[in-house]
Amino acid sequence: MTTAIDWLEKRAQLSPNNVALIDRVKNIGQEITYKEWNKQVNQTAHYFRDKLGLQKGDRIAILSSNCVEYLDVLYSCNKLGTILQNLNWRLAVPELEHLIKDVKPKVLLYSNDFIDQIQKLKKRGDVNIEHFVAFEEKAQSTDHNFFERNSHRDTTPDAPAISDQHPWLLCYTGGTTGLPKAAIHTYANVVANAVNTITSWELHSQDCAILNAPLFHTGGLHVFTTPLIYSSGASIICKAFDVEQTFDLMKEKKATVFFGVPTMFVMMQNHPRWNEAEFDHLKFIICGGAPCPIPVCEKFWEKGVDFKTGYGLTEAGPNTFWLPRNLVQGKPGSVGFPLMHVETKLVDKNGLEIEDADIHGELWIRGPHRTPGYRNNPQATEDAIDSEGWLHTGDLASRDEDGCYYVVGRKKEMYISGGENVYPLEIESLLHTHPSVAEAAIFGVPHNKWGEVGRAVVALKPDQEAVSEEELVEWVRSRIAHYKVPHRVFFTDVLPKTAAGKISKTTLREMFGQLDPEDDRRIGREDTRLPYKASERRGAHASDET
């Protein structure tokens, strides 16, 4: 084991005048250099230790939208050896209570957006938090105000030795199958992700990212934010994703890289400013969180943008792959090659490695960016990470003859219809090419004859001609193998999203998943699906899947 470094102390020595943060939340446009930021975080660390009594190993919880102060807390943990618990502000109060009782933070910091949740948490007798600290000046009278830190010293605090295996933060999984699990991110994990990203994505000190993904999510924290700090680059801190603000930032041309989830890019493309928007100042845009429909990628390519699909997860990185620019359009849908210090493989349902190209299997990942496990959850850790250190992702992928990987979706989302594996992403990508469709999601539901059939939920563009369920089904049927055609299509104004901005298929199942035994007859489906020609039956992504 080695000792973890004080990141900002190093940056203040090596690149003191480089801009670290650009505040677009409170002090609009204020630029903060690494030298200035280090002093600010030193004050925060002294405040936490001298005023609030925090010591190495103590937990600090945050319930806040994005702001500079959020990152101040993250890097004060680096200086003191305290551990950040970044709470998902979209969770209900009982869910937050469960996570707080599990981790037992000594301090909970919050922004004014969440005062109601804080008041409700205080009324729950078994939430034992010593100090509540407000980020804004409007702190409740009984709480501390974060800016008390300004009266504390800005010199480097004496700090205990911190191993690189010491937890730095607890980052929660999406929680789509129950309460989120707290993946431990050690110093070694965060450094490995930064090194992988900088060396493989070719980031440098002149790069600047728009940070409008939530900081409670691994994407907001680690796709660009921590790697850019490691390389002395900059981040533009935005409170949240706002499509107008994003177009404004594109117009200013300060950013060189941008990360988002598919929903964000769909919103941009459906916005009136899309046609006039320019992206020539960007080195690339990376889309993560969920597989991105190819039509969304193509619209960026038409504007000359190096727009690519990334892949990662809370338990590893999250950055895991990279696709060089010269291959992006020639390998649509590929996430590329594993990064510098990342091992990957595909396995079949028996855990045997798949060597052949284009055969789908579960993606396994190993490397120093992988979490050591979930806090207080040894069973979940054992289920996810085997004795050889492989993380079993639960994602299905294939690999072509060049070694490029293609992620087709969650293992649990794939459904089997009439003996055929169906991958929702393929159908969702097709639906995105329909001129009236803004967003689409597919999931499988039980069926007496076929085992499972597809069900689609679609949001239509308000400025396009409406389309009926029957018309959309027939449109899909004319373009794809029949066993992949959804048996029902439901329409909604907006598809529900998770806290990370992904389409929530759990919610969609609850809303639209009840099976109607009259589905087939209602849309005029005939009982003549099998057999099909091999070319039709296999489809665009099909193979001898596990």
Question: Has residue 452 been placed in a domain?
Answer: yes
Phi and psi, residue 262, nearest 5°? -50, -40
CA distances for 378 relative to 183, 295, 373, 381, 384, angstroms: 11, 41, 8, 5, 10
- Write down which residue in 115, 131, 163 finishes a domain: 163
From first to last of its 546 residues, what are the pLDDT tens digits of the chain?
A: 788 999 999 999 999 999 999 999 987 889 999 999 999 999 999 999 999 999 999 999 999 999 999 999 999 999 999 999 999 998 889 889 999 999 999 999 999 999 999 999 998 877 889 999 999 876 567 899 999 999 999 999 998 899 999 999 999 986 544 578 999 999 999 999 999 999 999 999 999 999 999 999 999 999 999 999 999 999 999 999 999 999 999 999 999 999 998 889 988 999 999 999 999 999 999 998 777 888 889 999 999 999 999 998 999 999 999 999 999 999 998 999 999 999 999 999 888 999 888 888 999 999 999 999 999 999 999 999 999 999 999 888 999 999 999 988 777 777 778 666 777 877 888 898 898 998 898 888 887 777 778 899 999 988 778 889 999 999 998 888 788 899 899 999 888 887 667 788 888 888 887 745 444 433 333 332 222 222 222 222 222 222
Q: Strand, coil or helix: what is 76?
A: helix
Asked whether residue 144 is assigned to any structural domain, the reply reads yes
CA–CA dist 461, 293 (Å, integer): 16
* CA separation for the pair 155, 247 (Å, rounded): 39
CATH code of the domain containing 498: 3.30.300.30
Does residue 347 sit within a domain?
no
β partners of residue 234: 208
Structural domain includes residue 324: no
SS3 content of the chain, % helix, strand, coil (to 5): 30, 25, 45
Helices (H), 68-112: 68-80, 93-103
Tell whether 151 is covered by a domain: yes
DSSP state of 374: B
Inside any domain, residue 395? no
Q: Could you give the number of structural domains in the chain?
A: 2
Write down the pTM of the prediction: 0.81
What DSSP line would sit under 300-319, residue for residue? Answer: HHHTT--EEE---BTTB-S-
Query: Is 58 a domain residue?
Result: yes
Last residue of a domain, one of 96, 129, 163: 163
Domain of 117, CATH number, reads: 3.40.50.980
Give domain status of residue 19, yes or no.
Answer: no
Instruction: Give the domain extent around 39.
Output: 33-163
For the residues of 427-484, what is the DSSP string, one character each? HHHHHTTSTTEEEEEEEEEEETTTEEEEEEEEEE-TTS----HHHHHHHHHTTS-GGG
CA angle 78, 83, 88 (to 5 degrees): 115
On whether the CB atoms of residues 319 and 363 are closer than 8 A, the answer is: no
- State which of 111, 146, 163 marks the end of a domain: 163
